[in-house]
Structure 1
Amino acid sequence: MRLTDAFVTRSLDEIRFWSRIMKEHSLFLKLGFRCEDTQLINEANQFYAVFEAIEVKSHSFTLETDPQVVKAFNEEVYTAASHIWAFKRKVLGLILQCKMPGANNFPLLVDHTSREANYFRNRLVELNTGRLEPLPDAIIDENVFFLRIMADHAKFIGHLLDPSERQLVEQARSFSNDFDTLLFQAVDLESMRPQSQTIPLLDQFLDENRVSVKSLRDFKKTARDLIEACRIKSIIHPLLADHVFREAERFLFIIDMFERSLTGAKVPQQ
């Protein structure tokens, strides 16, 4: 694959995935605002419309699109991602300063969504400047980012399930502990680099994370299906259940991509 083809492919893949995520963040934040937070609700609605338009526009491009056109699109999306990042940080500040009593957005959830917006805009900069990280660094950094995201998801699920769903709450708590541990292991590997960046260590790192992410992905799928069928008690929006499932699927896709790049070996079916 030519570099220009890879640039277009990667850019469109990132934008199609993350623009939908940003759009859904806008909805979830809006649902957590109070009735009187009309300005914030309006801003959230505007961001929903912006990222919905970006998502639609991204599907109008093909792999044959001129890379310069895609580069300009990346810059446009970067601006939108920067604006929603700033909005999320503003909301987080209001919550932490106790200026929104009674609102239903956890501070960690708002911070979580802002980290994803920051990740998205940084990826667009990397693509447009051609400064993607070397594989060993990318493996560690992507896993540190996504392991924390997965740990957060487990915590959110545990807190949004009805307390009477004791077994599911306990499973979510167990996943939270597992991913906190995996995150600490990843941070340790990060601090040991470059000496830690050997193929055997990185390969084992990916294998161990894959097993845990697959288990969490399956748990999220089960929870999503039960929520959609109204078979469990929770305050989890069905779209949120699907949202966190898709992010686990994305992490598995990235792990498999790294495994192929690192060893050239085929990866197990997910």
Structure 2
Amino acid sequence: MADPIVARSLDEIRFWSRIMKEHSLFLSLGFTYEQKQLIDEARNFISLFERIEEKLARFTVNSELEQVRSFNKEVYQAAVAIWHYKRKVLGLTLRCEIRSNNFPLLVDHISREAAYFANRLTELNNGKLVPKPEAIIEENVFFLRIMADHSKFIGHLLDPSERKLVDQAREFSHDFDQLVFQAVDLDSMRPQSETRPILSQFLNQNKVSVASLRDFKKTARELIEACRIKSNIHPLLADHTFREAERFLEIIDFFEASLMRSSN
């Protein structure tokens, strides 16, 4: 029988390594031509995560736990390295030492995702598969904020003449900002005893909102790929944000299943 830590580790690496590789591409495309060193560093990270994906292909869910733990440590180092790179870019941007087409919030956004990836690998190597109830709220705050950021980026990167789509993106941004605040409130007022009914309602509400945003992203991706709307959104970026919404829905399902098991 496959070890759940092995299966989850490989799944996290498969998903997030691709995300890290794409972040590197998006950053490289956003720099100006004279920022060659930063572009070269971004390209080096693309190569690094491509090598990780090649190594990943050698593993299966039946691989030895210790081998996967060793691989997790290796990938952790890559995640930490790209986090440092992203924070360096953010610092240069905020100090106006460079000017590029990479929004500061976008750079902060992708650095948060690198930190999340590194943290997940550490948790898995420590045998932590399912978060405690309080961690479920914290992880939802992380992903709700990611969804809110996506909505803001979409709204800014659409051509202003795409008024209806811009308005829809702004509505999603507002809705997810409110969900973030609601989650923070829930975290601070969470009862110390029974939390499952509250958490179940919380997860269900998030699922409905994320599914709606996921569908919007899917439509936007299809329109962008067909060149039917005007925007500065790279087709891969449209697909990237769609996959992250899908990932959040999978994680909500995972949390719901873990709550159900713990209540039996």
Tell me if TM exceeds 0.5. yes
Q: Among residues 227, 232, 236, which one is paired with 1:230 in the alignment?
A: 227
Q: Among residues 89, 103, 107, which one is paired with 1:106 in the alignment?
A: 103
Q: Among residues 139, 146, 149, which one is paired with 2:143 in the alignment?
A: 146
| 1:206 partner amino acid | L
Q: Match of 1:79? A: 77
Superposed displacement of residue 23, structure 1: 0.2
Structure 1, unmatched stretches of 5+, are: 265-270
Q: Which is worse superposed, 174-183 or 61-70?
A: 61-70
Deviations 1:139-188 (A, max 9, x none): 21110100000000000000000000000000000000000000000011
Superposed displacement of residue 117, structure 1: 0.1
Q: Match of 1:268? A: none
CA contact (8 A) 1:141 1:190 kept: yes
Is 1:27 the counterpart of 2:21 in the alignment? no
Computed over aligned residues only, the root mean square deviation of the Cα atoms, in angstroms, reads 1.5
Aligned residues: 262
- Provide the rounded CA distance (Å) in 1 between the counterparts of 2:209 and 2:101: 30
Q: Match of 1:173? A: 170
- Provide the rounded CA distance (Å) in 1 between the counterparts of 2:11 and 2:259: 21
Q: Match of 1:215? A: 212
CA contact (8 A) 2:130 2:258 kept: no
Q: Among residues 63, 66, 71, which one is paired with 2:64 in the alignment?
A: 66
Structure 2, unmatched stretches of 5+, are: none
**1:108-257 residue pairs with structure 2 within 5 A?**
108-131=105-128, 134-195=131-192, 198-257=195-254
CA contact (8 A) 1:189 1:196 kept: no
CA pair 196-181 structure 1, distance change in 2 beyond 3 A: farther
| 1:205 partner amino acid | F
Superposed displacement of residue 132, structure 1: 5.0
Superposed displacement of residue 129, structure 1: 1.6
CA pair 187-197 structure 1, distance change in 2 beyond 3 A: farther
| 1:162 partner amino acid | D
| 1:238 partner amino acid | P
- Provide the rounded CA distance (Å) in 1 between the counterparts of 2:131 and 2:165: 40
CA pair 28-134 structure 1, distance change in 2 beyond 3 A: closer
Q: Match of 2:88? A: 90
CA contact (8 A) 1:16 1:59 kept: no
Deviations 1:111-143 (A, max 9, x none): 000000000001111111224564312321110
| 2:77 partner amino acid | T
Alignment partner of 1:100: what SS?
coil
| 2:166 partner amino acid | V
- Provide the rounded CA distance (Å) in 1 between the counterparts of 2:78 and 2:50: 11
Q: TM-score, normalised to structure 2's length?
A: 0.96
| 2:257 partner amino acid | R
- Provide the rounded CA distance (Å) in 2 between the counterparts of 1:91 and 1:71: 30
| 1:14 partner amino acid | E
Q: Which is worse superposed, 115-124 or 197-206?
A: 197-206
